[in-house]
Amino acid sequence: MVKVVRVHAYGGPEALSYDDVELGQPGPGQALISQTAVGLNYIDTYHRTGLYKLPSLPHPIGVEGAGIVEAVGPGVTNVKPGDRICYGSILGAYAQKRIVPADRLLALPEGISDEVAAGIMLKGMTARYLVRVTYPIKKGDTVLIHAAAGGVGLIACQWAKHLGATVIGTVGSEEKAALARAHGCDHPINYNRENFVEKVKEITGGKGLPVVYDSVGKDTWEGSLDCLAPRGLMVSFGNASGPVPPVSILVLSQKGSLFLTRPILAHYIVTRAEYEETANDLFNVVKSGAVKIEVNQRYALKDVGQAHIDLENRKTTGSTILIP
């Protein structure tokens, strides 16, 4: 029997159940992994509440982790027992051990710890597709990254700075402003003290921005559109404050023939080649020191409810991991 955190019915943090589950042996194309660290992400709260529906109930949640391969099923050639591995975007990570599709496991390179890997796979690969693919940042761009002191935010700020951008970021406190500034954010804006739209207009001389990366959702939607230059791109990739309400597409024309996308990581790592390219790009910027990763919170897996409470109350910064 292994310990697995599952959701039996959608709800608040109390919906997280610390269960004993029987694991079988890996089948064809599968691997059994023993997890040393599991990442905590905002998407986990969406799965818990049912904003994003799970395939069935009860179901484990969590989407990223790191550990060691214990056994492999028939036909598996990309990993073997004893290999250090990591992964992102495989639902069911809140577990001591689990069986996963082997072709979604990645070799964990030397120089990156299990904790760092578990804390960056989803957030880091998300930051990568945002700044390299959805809107490929060019030297000289000025960009806005909401929740700049969060898990994706700290990585995205550093990566955008590394690519030559001037980075504007929104945060909720002076402490988070200092953290964002230390991680590549040139202009942190405390939205509890300043109007971020007015500040963006001031910083850009009224021109607006080519892109806004927004993981906050409902609370920042309107303001984000108002920060964009004509033909700018609104990248809405999260709903930390709640989902964006239905909108008329005429708003996009009225505000400057704007572009809008609502991306998710899974669609950027569909093929094995895309998955490896995304991960390797992430590993390289981390190993080079261009992007520094800080695991700022650790919780025992059994205390995951408290981790969700702290995450939703915006008490966490950087990466948070659960220890199985």
Residue 254 lies in a domain: yes
User: Does residue 100 share a domain with residue 208?
Assistant: no
Residue 55 lies in a domain: yes
Regarding beta strands 209-214 and 228-236, do their DSSP bridges make them parallel or antiparallel, or are they unpaired? parallel
Amino acid 207: pLDDT: 97
User: Does residue 258 share a domain with residue 165?
Assistant: yes
What tokens does 278 get? 């995304």
Amino acid 158: pLDDT: 98
Residue 217 lies in a domain: yes
User: Does residue 99 share a domain with residue 10?
Assistant: yes
Question: Per-residue pLDDT tens for 60-103?
Answer: 999 999 999 999 999 999 999 999 999 998 999 999 999 999 99
Give me the residues paired with residue 2 across strands: 21
Domain end (from 262, 280, 307): 262
What is the pLDDT confidence band of residue 226, given thresholds at 50, 70 and 90?
very high
Count Cβ atoms within 10 A of the Cβ of residue 34 and give its class: 0-12 exposed, 13-18 middle, 19 or more buried.
middle
User: Does residue 235 share a domain with residue 195?
Assistant: yes
Residue 79 lies in a domain: yes
pLDDT higher than threshold 90 for residue 294: no
pLDDT higher than threshold 90 for residue 318: no
pLDDT higher than threshold 90 for residue 178: yes
User: Does residue 195 share a domain with residue 89?
Assistant: no
The rounded distance, in Å, linking the Cα atoms of 264 and 23 is 30
Domain of 77?
A: 2-121+269-323
Count Cβ atoms within 10 A of the Cβ of residue 310 and give its class: 0-12 exposed, 13-18 middle, 19 or more buried.
middle
H/E run at residue 180:
helix 174-181
Amino acid 131: pLDDT: 98
pLDDT higher than threshold 90 for residue 54: yes
Cβ neighbours for 161, distance < 8 A, ≥ 6 positions apart: 167, 184, 185, 186
User: Does residue 104 share a domain with residue 35?
Assistant: yes
Amino acid 240: pLDDT: 86
User: Does residue 286 share a domain with residue 175?
Assistant: no
Give the number of domains in the chain: 2
User: Does residue 73 share a domain with residue 28?
Assistant: yes
Amino acid 314: pLDDT: 86
In which order are the strands placed within the sheet that holds 259-261?
A: 187-190, 166-171, 142-145, 209-214, 228-236, 259-261
Amino acid 285: pLDDT: 97
Q: Which amino acid is at 324?
A: P
**Across residues 173-197, what is the average pLDDT?**
96
User: Does residue 194 share a domain with residue 249?
Assistant: yes
Regarding beta strands 228-236 and 259-261, do their DSSP bridges make them parallel or antiparallel, or are they unpaired? parallel
**CATH no. for residue 238?**
3.40.50.720
Residue 129 lies in a domain: no
User: Does residue 246 share a domain with residue 146?
Assistant: yes
| Spatial contact of 69 and 105, defined as CB atoms under 8 Å apart | yes
How many CB atoms sit inside 10 A of residue 180's CB?
Answer: 30
Domain end (from 262, 279, 297): 262
Domain end (from 210, 228, 262): 262
**CATH no. for residue 115?**
3.90.180.10
What tokens does 131 get? 């700044």
pLDDT higher than threshold 90 for residue 25: yes
**Across residues 260-277, what is the average pLDDT?**
96
Q: Which amino acid is at 75?
A: G
User: Does residue 251 share a domain with residue 146?
Assistant: yes
Amino acid 71: pLDDT: 98
Cβ neighbours for 253, distance < 8 A, ≥ 6 positions apart: none
**Across residues 42-62, what is the average pLDDT?**
95
H/E run at residue 123:
helix 114-129
Phi, then psi, of 47 in degrees rounded to 5? -65, -40
Phi, then psi, of 131 in degrees rounded to 5? -90, -15
Query: What's the mean pLDDT when you consider all of the chain?
Result: 96
Helix (H, G, I), strand (E, B) or coil at 152: helix
User: Does residue 201 share a domain with residue 95?
Assistant: no
Residue 127 lies in a domain: no
Question: Per-residue pLDDT tens for 298-315?
Answer: 999 999 999 999 999 989
Residue 130 lies in a domain: no
Phi, then psi, of 53 in degrees rounded to 5? -70, 140
| Spatial contact of 259 and 101, defined as CB atoms under 8 Å apart | no
Residue 128 lies in a domain: no
